[in-house]
Structure 1
Amino acid sequence: MQALPTATLTAPPEHSAAEGVAAGGPADNDRSRVVWWMWALTGALFSTYLLLSLLLHEHLRTSSFDLAIFEQVVRSYAEGHLPVSEVRGPDFPVLGDHFSPILALIAPLYWLWASPKVLLAVQAALIAVSVLPLTLWARRALGSPPAAVIGISYGISWGIASAVGYDFHEVPFAVPLVMCSLTALANDRLRQAAYWALPLLLVKEDLGLTVAAIGVLIARRGDRRLGITTAAIGLGGTLLEVLVILPSFNPAGGYGRLQWLGVGGSTGGPGDLLYRFTIGLITPETKITTLVFLLAPTLFLALRSSLMWVALPTLLWRFASTYPEPWGTGYHYSLALMPIVFAAFVDALVRRHSSRGTVRRYVAACAAISLLLLPQFPLWWLTQPGTWWTDPRIAVAHRLMDRIPDDVTVQVSNSLVPQLANRTSVSLYGWPASRPNPQWIMVDTWARPYRLQVNGMQMSESSLDDLRRRGYRTVTEQDGYVLLSRSG
């Protein structure tokens, strides 16, 4: 990471960031520009995120759920048809699982280079660029040194690290949109806040509730008509996507993710729903831990900003879910919350008219806590020697996969699926929804059984002897990898 300015901390202005811009003096105009260190920080974060993602992919540590699914989606758009994912099921229409048409924007890049690395690069760029509106606002309001420290703390925050360390998802498209919307909202540029928020409806179906929350804040800040309109579009968009669009594409009908809230399932009684939306929101203790981790980098100061209300819809569906993964700090589930938390942090510092010493203490504490949490999350892997060591088995795996022809149906072990998604019709070995009787099968017999359960379906791997009895012949096997081809 390039060196940042070492100038002494300047006192924050006595007025808000919006008032500073309105003043229009030379100093204010200078602080309204993106300067060199912001671009340097953005570039350094992009390089770090991309390096980690590529290392994980090269070491076969990416997976079918979710990198391969999203590559199949982007490949579909690049080929000119609605998105399907062979991993989810034969010709499974992904718009029946999640509403994320914004992924079509990656298709032109996929035309240039049909590789999962394109998706990983897009993800790194989207997250990294979100630091620009945050640091630009913080620089106007607090000065360059605090802005730089806040930008670094945001860039290495645990929610971002967890997402970068786990495949690719659609949520990174939301990160710069949320950050731009909240920075505009905090500076009373209400129309801009609405414009930045509305595209969230194209990122994922639940983010319409985030748009609605932003609309409510716009109304509270003075533009009731714009705020109510934005909130109505957000809420209406989510209802349309969940109740109409997704069920119309889903082969089973309905919106399967409602089962996470116990709707339509065996756990969906009124008493169960009441429990999970009351005491269930803070039990088990994993949920409290996640909340503490979320607010700790700001020393809980973010709670003094109304911007934190924008996080409420995401926290509610996560903690009310019957699916345990969203409760914790892993995976990508907290990525969209990090811009909210850090925008609320800056907003609280500005609106409290904090003194220079107070700003210095809060910003230093924010950096210290972010650094303390860093070793527990994937960005820390870049400091570990094992991350840079390549297992000789990886070369063997690639050599065997090279024997699989293009455009064939294939089932492979989980870590191999993303390696073949750009040139074959690949699905997950042992996954009940996978296309039956593929032309090729490749199994990593040394890997621990992949534990997966989605919508009640569980992994059930056939033995190699069963496959051979069903007509598959062994093409080759080496170092625990077995490559099979269907006879005839």
Structure 2
Amino acid sequence: MLKSYGLRAVNWPLVLVGTITGLFFLTLARLILARHNNFFTFDYDLGIFDQAIWLLSRGGSFITVRGLDVFGHHANLGFFLLVPFYWLGAGPNFLDVLMVAGVSFGVVPIHRYSVQLLENQWHALIPPMAYLLHFATSWVINETFHPEVLAIGPLLMAYVASTRLEWRRYAAWLIAAGIWKEDIALAIVMIGIIVWIRGNRRVGLTTAASAMLYFLFATRVMIPVLSGGGAFYEGFFGPLGSGVFEVVFNALRHPSLVIDAFIAHDALGYLRDLLYPYALVPVLAPIALLIGLPQFLINMLTVHGLSANLQAHYVTMPLAAASLALAEGLRRLKRIEWRRVALGAVAATSLTTSALWGLLPYGIKYDQGNWPLGPNPRAPTMLAAISFPEPEDAVAATWNLVPHLTHRHQIFTFPNPWTIVNWGTGVETPPDPAVIDWLVIDRQVLGESTDDFERVLAEERWEIVLDHDDIVVARRAP
């Protein structure tokens, strides 16, 4: 029997944080594994990133799913850390579980910072739990692996280290965040500005300058050189131009273009929905929100509509910033009565919006087709289909089968390479379709490519080795 003093010595709020985080991890890991194993994942972007890391592990670098060099796509230098796991056989499921772990790890700095600011273990329980319950976290996981998600925890740890003047840890965590994608450098620039505002001028200036130099190197040198035609996303800003300087110049010169973009993407609604799960408390600490400002502006100014969707991975940095601002906003409520009211409001709004807008098991959207809650009746046929090509064979497959065939040097999303769609930057020479050894096709998702498929079968010599459940596998005839 435990002695009473032993029970009192237990940090029950910390135990609760750890338990809830563990349950979150296990639940979302199970769901995302079921999503992939039931053939409900995509070529964009899981297939792209999985082939990219597999290629690096085998000394290659050209992602045939995307038509770009690994680092002509994004500056995902952190992929080198994952290469040893691919030597051991890692693949899409590993990446997806790693992403869930990355989201879950964000609890650590948020909880640590909340304890530091609120000086009350029970009060400090609310911000990290609100972060996990934020509807955007479950949607980001549902979207499958994106490397910038792995930057959440390190970036938050760096910010917390800066408030404690732990500069070596601060630098190490910033590097650990910045290696995952070039856009993270812009958030690091803002952290440097915040550090500068708070009085550490040298550290802040060094941080901001270093991060901006890295961002410019990645986007103006590395990516354009390796892609052969400039960063593929430079055309996403429409009339504002391409490149950071041109976009900033045109935004200042023609503010109406910015206003039009904000209206088109409902910028105020985006901010409202981002902060509402936190009961709008982050508005009390706007300085921390600066961290998410660059990505917010990118999301609003691009003509790429998905970026303005809070259910997409582009919300990663705004969400991280809002989570820090939540803890700082609560700190600003000096009167304990006001703080308790705010904590209650955060608990209520995070739970409510999670149930209404999120994808956790108690939510209304949980069983609306976003997760595969039952077995895919065609999964056995699909599993048989992907077993035909040998690892050295070149394959063209439909988007839902591509992530299961990416551990090879040549894998294309049909109708590539016959008809070029969402491939390269327009300057690459498309490969000769004659190199394709196998077609692995799901007729149910072909859509507009159905005619292309029938034409390829009719005009070229193929041997059908499987045609069942609308799954077709064809081998090029000798």
Bucket of the pairwise TM-score, normalised by the shorter protein: 0.7 to 0.9
Counterparts of 1:424 and 1:43, CA distance in 2: 37
Counterparts of 1:226 and 1:385, CA distance in 2: 49
1:273 positional shift: 7.7
Counterparts of 1:303 and 1:281, CA distance in 2: 23
Equivalence for 2:173:
196
2:395–2:437 Cα contact (<8 Å) kept: yes
1:198–1:230 Cα contact (<8 Å) kept: no
Q: Deviations over 1:58-97 (max 9, x none)?
A: 2211100000111111112222x353311012xx312112
Equivalence for 1:14:
none
1:347 positional shift: 1.0
Equivalence for 2:295:
314
1:441 positional shift: 0.4
| 213-222 vs 142-151, greater mean Cα deviation | 142-151
1:484 positional shift: 1.0
Stretches of structure 2 lacking an aligned partner (at least 5 in a row): 1-6, 424-429
Pick one of 216, 227, 234 that aligns with 1:258.
234
**Aligned positions of 1:151-230 closer than 5 A:** 151-187=128-164, 189=166, 192-230=169-207
Equivalence for 2:55:
76
2:288–2:324 Cα contact (<8 Å) kept: yes
1:106 positional shift: 1.3
Pick one of 207, 210, 217 that aligns with 1:240.
217
Counterparts of 1:339 and 1:270, CA distance in 2: 28
1:134 positional shift: 1.1
Equivalence for 2:352:
372
Equivalence for 1:399:
384
**Aligned positions of 1:16-95 closer than 5 A:** 35-79=14-58, 81=59, 83-89=61-67, 92-95=68-71
- The change in CA–CA distance for 1:464 and 1:290 in structure 2 (over 3 A counts) is same
1:131 and 2:107 equivalent?
yes
1:164–1:378 Cα contact (<8 Å) kept: no
Counterparts of 1:280 and 1:479, CA distance in 2: 47
- The change in CA–CA distance for 1:125 and 1:273 in structure 2 (over 3 A counts) is farther
Pick one of 303, 310, 325 that aligns with 2:283.
303
1:52–1:164 Cα contact (<8 Å) kept: no
TM-score, normalization: structure 1? 0.84
1:389 and 2:338 equivalent?
no
2:397–2:413 Cα contact (<8 Å) kept: yes
Q: 1:137 corresponds to which letter in structure 2?
A: Y
2:251–2:258 Cα contact (<8 Å) kept: no
Pick one of 443, 446, 471 that aligns with 2:444.
446
1:463 and 2:453 equivalent?
yes
- The total of aligned residue pairs comes to 447
1:332 positional shift: 0.9
SS at match of 2:464: strand
Counterparts of 2:92 and 2:289, CA distance in 1: 34
Q: Deviations over 1:124-160 (max 9, x none)?
A: 1111111012112223443222322322221121221
Equivalence for 1:334:
315
Equivalence for 1:294:
274
Question: Alignment RMSD, CA only?
Answer: 2.9
1:73–1:83 Cα contact (<8 Å) kept: yes
1:404–1:440 Cα contact (<8 Å) kept: yes
Equivalence for 1:101:
77
Q: Deviations over 1:344-374 (max 9, x none)?
A: 110121133241x322222222222222222
1:398 positional shift: 0.8
Counterparts of 2:456 and 2:129, CA distance in 1: 54
SS at match of 2:447: coil
Pick one of 121, 127, 130 that aligns with 1:144.
121
Equivalence for 1:428:
413
SS at match of 1:333: helix
1:485 and 2:478 equivalent?
no
**Structure with greater helix share of residues:** 2
Counterparts of 1:197 and 1:275, CA distance in 2: 33
SS at match of 2:444: coil
- The change in CA–CA distance for 1:486 and 1:152 in structure 2 (over 3 A counts) is same
SS at match of 2:181: coil
Equivalence for 2:341:
361
- The change in CA–CA distance for 1:177 and 1:461 in structure 2 (over 3 A counts) is farther
Matched-pair identity in %: 22
- The change in CA–CA distance for 1:41 and 1:441 in structure 2 (over 3 A counts) is same
1:191–1:226 Cα contact (<8 Å) kept: no
1:211–1:231 Cα contact (<8 Å) kept: yes
Q: 2:472 corresponds to which letter in structure 1?
A: V
SS at match of 1:379: coil
SS at match of 2:303: coil
Counterparts of 2:193 and 2:133, CA distance in 1: 30
1:56 positional shift: 1.1
1:467 positional shift: 2.2
1:44 positional shift: 2.0
- The change in CA–CA distance for 1:416 and 1:244 in structure 2 (over 3 A counts) is same
Counterparts of 1:360 and 1:52, CA distance in 2: 35
SS at match of 2:396: strand
2:29–2:97 Cα contact (<8 Å) kept: yes
Counterparts of 2:256 and 2:165, CA distance in 1: 36
1:116–1:418 Cα contact (<8 Å) kept: yes
Counterparts of 1:302 and 1:206, CA distance in 2: 23
SS at match of 1:353: coil
Counterparts of 1:117 and 1:244, CA distance in 2: 33
- The change in CA–CA distance for 1:440 and 1:469 in structure 2 (over 3 A counts) is same
1:287–1:328 Cα contact (<8 Å) kept: no
Stretches of structure 1 lacking an aligned partner (at least 5 in a row): 1-6, 8-26, 451-458
SS at match of 1:482: strand
1:418 and 2:403 equivalent?
yes
TM-score, normalization: structure 2? 0.85
Counterparts of 1:361 and 1:277, CA distance in 2: 41
SS at match of 1:100: coil
Equivalence for 1:472:
462
1:191 positional shift: 5.8
